[in-house]
Structure 1
Amino acid sequence: MTRRAKNGDAKGLARVHVDSWKTTYTGIVPETYLQDLSYDNREKMWERGIDQGSERSSIFVAENTYGDIIGFASGGPERTKKYGYDGELYAIYLLKEYQGQQIGKQLVQMVANDLVEKGFQSVLVWVLADNPSRKFYESLQAEEVGKKEIEIGGEMFEEIAYGWIEIEALLGKIKR
């Protein structure tokens, strides 16, 4: 089941965030950075994110049959203002054991629908160049629209922006 995040979800969001980073980025980012990721720090971050949520940004969660949060996605206004896109998929993380079950698509669809309802027309997402999840965005026919360098754990990494000029085109790819 997917739904909008609410107060009380921060602990589950933190668990997915930390665990997903550890499974996705092992061998990509410095191991010491991954070891230093803290459930407590991420929980505080997500508590603030839920509490300070704006009318323009949203967080959605996916739950398993036991009601545990197994994934999340968030989105809102595009933050750089450099690429001509008005919306951004800020993050999408899904526990490894739930990947490949269309849950990621459901979460992206929820963010995309929310962006459309709020008047956004286009959307981009940033992904580390070495992240195998790039294939997910490519399967949804995202166009590569930019690159930048970011620092993680004292090392520099390339990030790639993928975009859809029309959110409706993204939604059409998800529904197929």
Structure 2
Amino acid sequence: MENYVYVAENDEGKIVGFICGGKRETNQVEDSGDLTVIYILENSQRMGIGKKLIKELFFKFEELGFKTIFVEVLEDNKSRYFYEAFGAELLKTEKIKIAGAELNLLVYEWKNISPVLL
């Protein structure tokens, strides 16, 4: 799988966030891709950086012909609200174990990425 990475820099040229995506080997859905990581430094959040990063990645996905995009996030991770704000819909919840703890993994999908690109 090819990964596509985009970074955000502040006015001083320091990296304040990044996004990564492509198509997971486990993703068998035709014409689909995966947002695998997005991270923005806490002091750079709520400044529109996430929106710009997601748009860049989704423009690449559109170029690749991806029509459906998936993202996985732990239930306790507040970033899930970011995905929901950009139109991702909860597809399913899976139980996973990490370091002996059972956690809920939420799988979201965008069936239509056009609104994100506006």
> Shorter chain as normaliser: what TM range?
0.7 to 0.9
Q: Which moved more, 1:78-87 or 1:120-129?
A: 78-87
Say whether 1:140 aligns with 2:68.
Answer: no
Partner residue, 2:6: 60
Partner residue, 1:88: 34
**Which residue of 104, 107, 110 maps to 1:161?**
107
Once the two structures are TM-superposed, the CA of residue 155 in structure 1 deviates from its matched residue by 2.0
One-letter code aligned to 1:144? L
Question: Which protein is richer in strand relative to its size?
Answer: 2
For structure 1, list consecutive stretches of 5 or more residues without a partner in the other structure.
1-53
Q: How does 1:22-171 map to 2 (within 5 A)?
A: 56-81=2-27, 86-171=32-117
Once the two structures are TM-superposed, the CA of residue 81 in structure 1 deviates from its matched residue by 2.8
Work out the number of aligned pairs and report it: 118
CA–CA distance in structure 2, aligned partners of residues 131 and 72 of structure 1: 17
Root-mean-square deviation (CA, aligned residues, Å) is 1.9
Higher Rg: 1
Partner residue, 1:8: none
TM-score, L = length of structure 1: 0.61
For structure 2, list consecutive stretches of 5 or more residues without a partner in the other structure.
none
One-letter code aligned to 2:68? S
Corresponding residue SS for 1:120: coil
